[in-house]
């Protein structure tokens, strides 16, 4: 499977793997699966860190660099014009730009979104792997 990690799944996989279900941990650890990360997740992480919503043991940019250097290589999901257009087609009731771009990335790139976000899990057109 080609798995796109939602921002919180990426953070949890690095800092709090116990928050991941056994099914998700297995999927993320399988060599048969490709793991993808949107640059929007990096942006969202940095915004959350700047707001003080995350407790970090180092500067946010250093945390990101260390997380991206860790084993289990993450592929960069391209942020394209098609993704930008699709982000406005995603039928979300809220206007969170990160959710819109991440969902659109999964749809455009043919990826399965790994998430615990019930609003994203409710989208019938979006292939998901639930962390519930």
The DSSP annotation for 48-104 comes to HHHHT-S--SS-HHHHHHHHHHSSS-PEEPP--HHHHHHHTTS--SS--HHHHHHHH
Q: 5 vs 72, which has greater pLDDT?
A: 5
Q: Domain map of the chain by residue range?
A: 2-130
CA distance 114 to 1: 11
The predicted-structure confidence for 88-110, as pLDDT tens digits, reads as follows 999 998 889 999 999 999 999 99
- DSSP-derived 3-state class of residue 116: coil
The answer, yes or no, to whether residue 73 has pLDDT greater than 90, is no
The answer, yes or no, to whether residue 72 has pLDDT greater than 70, is no
At 18 the pLDDT is 98
The answer, yes or no, to whether residue 27 has pLDDT greater than 80, is yes
At 71 the pLDDT is 73
- DSSP-derived 3-state class of residue 111: coil
With both helix axes pointing from N to C terminus, report the angle between 97-109 and 39-51 in degrees, rounded to the nearest 10.
160
Q: Which helix (H) or strand (E) holds 40?
A: helix 39-51
Put simply, whether the predicted model's pTM sits higher than 0.85 gets the answer yes
Ranges 14-18, 56-60, 70-74, 108-112: which has the least confidence: 70-74
Is residue 100 within 8 A of residue 117, CB to CB? The reply is no
The answer, yes or no, to whether residue 46 has pLDDT greater than 90, is yes
Is residue 128 within 8 A of residue 107, CB to CB? The reply is no
The predicted-structure confidence for 12-26, as pLDDT tens digits, reads as follows 999 999 999 999 999
Superfamily for domain range 2-130 = 5'-nuclease (3.40.50.1010)
């Amino acid at each position: 499977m080609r798995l796109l990690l939602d921002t919180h799944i990426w953070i949890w996989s690095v800092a709090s793997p116990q928050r991941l279900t056994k099914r998700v941990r297995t999927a993320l650890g399988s060599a048969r699966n490709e793991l993808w990360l949107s640059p929007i997740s990096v942006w969202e992480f940095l915004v959350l860190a700047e707001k003080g919503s995350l407790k970090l043991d180092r500067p946010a940019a250093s945390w990101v660099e260390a997380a991206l250097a860790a084993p289990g290589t993450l592929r960069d999901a391209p942020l394209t014009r098609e993704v930008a257009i699709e982000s406005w087609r995603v039928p979300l009731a809220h206007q969170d730009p990160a959710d819109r771009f991440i969902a659109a990335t999964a749809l455009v790139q043919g990826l399965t979104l790994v998430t615990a976000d019930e609003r994203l899990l409710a989208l019938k057109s979006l292939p998901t792997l639930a962390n519930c």
